[in-house]
Structure 1
């Protein structure tokens, strides 16, 4: 787990140098004061890096738990990695491509001479997980998840493969296949997702859940509201109205689109845009038809909102959804919000989106556990008895 360049320094990765993407790792070295660095490359070839200065404890050991992130997030070197240019999101789409992080120890001053280095191989797909295109029948019982990645950006297997490692059978679909296609889309069809749900329901003894994020949040609410058999739905920073594109089922429009007022989008000096107040008022009379009829959904919901989301007003949308459910006497939901988190909430210990605020990674760590607990509780199969499949 270490390559020592200086005889005075040894860099150790504990409990091992090879681990799963969503597992923490301890990074330790012996020297009074050092600069520790982390570096990785994403699937598009973009380099992400981070650094921090650490002081040794009384025994002369450097431990990331007592560094710049002490008391909050010892994995700070991992989640704080970013590209040299602003607003680049870490892209890891294929689960067969491991997340390889190079840790290095340097002398304190300036760039500093490198004293030791070690490589941390962080796996997205474990030895017990099978990855293949869907076909045929799969013997149950098993808990099945439809993982809806965000709008555009193609297909990502990261979240799906990590959940498969935890015992779920996961089918991951992009809202639309790639960026060019997303730019030319005029409408969204429920039939596309209905086919995926029907595939699961044809299997023996299967319970079905849906996991979503951002724009796919309103798609997930629609799936749970219009299609039977969805037992549990997680919506992360989504909207309670159908947004941007009209929604169709069997060639008929079922929901018009809540649109954005471009004049309310605020540019920042860094080149990012704050869209939080950009959507039209979904509670106004002319927009009420865009609201997803969530009262007719039979399953359970976990609503997740970041209070510092500047993409749109996720916390208000969550509160409005809960209020509507309560007004109809429903208690089939849980909710969680993160005061210091931004729009992107992904599995923990990867470089976060630099255009989102994160609560030192703590929100992602907490949410990742919460998602798994929620699905295990409300999907009627024992995930631990199933060989995972992706």
Structure 2
């Protein structure tokens, strides 16, 4: 008899843990579901607390390098013992005020200068949400599985000619618009999330080798990626879109200027000039490198440096050979710049590109400007990163941005990018049939 009772009790315990309940009356729910896409908002609700009870809400996640990120905020239940993060303000903690997704974007590591590494699209971003009485006693917990790759999206590593990348294809026959995702270093996050929205996306990194070993870059290698997408049987768009940030952004500008078939270019917090190494195309150098002046690096108390002012002026006579001739581009641009970008003067570069296009009688651009956002604009709801190790400099740098404003900018930008790409890359079913 006692053996049967033990089994019943253990079953009950299992059930309560799965449903996110630690104490019989407190319920923590994630709506509409505890399983969602990485870039989807959720509603966090607690019920079964005492009237006006004060609790701390926590979130915790471990990245691909094993670094733990966490956040905590204090909330007061209403008269019915309920908390709704869409409605109720945080009183103190990692953020204050009404921030429905605050527990996610405010997660930080215990040590400084850590970026949340989530580059593998096959593993979900798992976040443990919990409710605590005081600091210690846990009342309820539930796991949020935030998927990078949705149902039916396929992932295929690609090695063709000089090109190395990962291809993400939506379910179904298409036709789909095609996008080249250019990241500075290999990352699948943005590409896989775009594929969930109905784009065929090829993720390609600018640097596949250690940056110190890269003495020159060849635009031909990236043209191979554009050609690959145009020839894909599920692609129906007339041309290809490009999404890029940082060093990837000046490569994207160069593709738009020199390579036919680029219809839409999203440039996020980049330069208007070719940064760091010479750029070649068809066996000749087309752009000289814009270099850094290390004497203008600013060191901060945290140990991280500010490199924004150390980039040489691309408009100075001796540096003009590094400027990308974007007036040659046939497609449209979406320029996205953060005013508080501490990596480089993205807003200044954007303004100069707008002036350049206007001087040449062009109006093929849109601009978006975020006053208090920093350099690392990414798909929304990941942990905000104010500083981290710079992949090209082997020092920690300040990226800039105020957490609340930066998080809001990411939500706005992500929607804007999808609208822009969709509007510029109209699909034609007859094109895909012709390829088949």
Q: Normalised by the size of structure 1, how large is the TM-score? A: 0.92
- Aligned position for 1:49: 70
Give how far 1:92 is off: 0.8
Q: Residue 135 of structure 1: CA displacement?
A: 8.3
Contact 2:89/2:99, CA 8 A, preserved across alignment:
no
Q: SS at 2:154's partner residue? A: coil
Residues 279-294 of structure 1: pairs in structure 2 closer than 5 A:
279-294=311-326
Q: 1:144 aligns with which of 173, 178, 197?
A: 178
* Equivalent residue runs for 1:378-389 within 5 Å: 378-381=424-427
Which of 133, 155, 169 aligns to 2:200? It is 169
Tell me the secondary structure at the aligned position of residue 108 of structure 2: coil
Report whether the alignment pairs 1:201 with 2:230: yes
Alignment of 1:1-390 (within 5 A): 2-30=19-47, 31=49, 32-65=53-86, 66-68=88-90, 73-108=99-134, 111-134=135-158, 141-150=175-184, 152=185, 155-178=186-209, 181-203=210-232, 205-206=236-237, 207-355=239-387, 356-357=400-401, 358=403, 359=405, 361-381=407-427
Contact kept in structure 2, 1:75 and 1:349, CA below 8 Å: yes
User: Which consecutive residues of structure 2, in runs of 5 or more, have no partner in the other structure?
Assistant: 1-17, 161-166, 388-399
The structural deviation recorded for 1:70 is 6.8
Q: 1:360 to 1:291 in 2, by over 3 A?
A: closer
Secondary structure at 1:114's aligned position in 2? strand
Quote how far apart the aligned CAs of 1:3 are. Answer: 2.5
Displacement of 1:192 after TM fit?
0.9
Structure of greater Rg:
2
Output the aligned Cα RMSD: 2.0
String of CA shifts for 1:171-226, please: whole Å, max 9, x gaps.
00111215xx2221111110110111111222354331000001111110000000
Number of residue pairs matched? 377
Moved more, 183-192 or 165-174: 183-192
Whole-angstrom distance in 2 between the partners of 1:116 and 1:183: 49
Deviates more, 1:189-198 or 1:4-13: 4-13
CA deviation profile, 1:282-326 (whole Å, cap 9, x unmatched): 111111111000000000000000000111111000000001001
In the TM superposition, what is the alpha-carbon distance from 1:381 to its structure 2 partner?
Answer: 1.7
Q: Is the 8 A contact 1:22 1:347 kept in 2?
A: yes
Partner SS state of residue 361, structure 1:
helix
SS of the residue corresponding to residue 225 of structure 2 reads helix
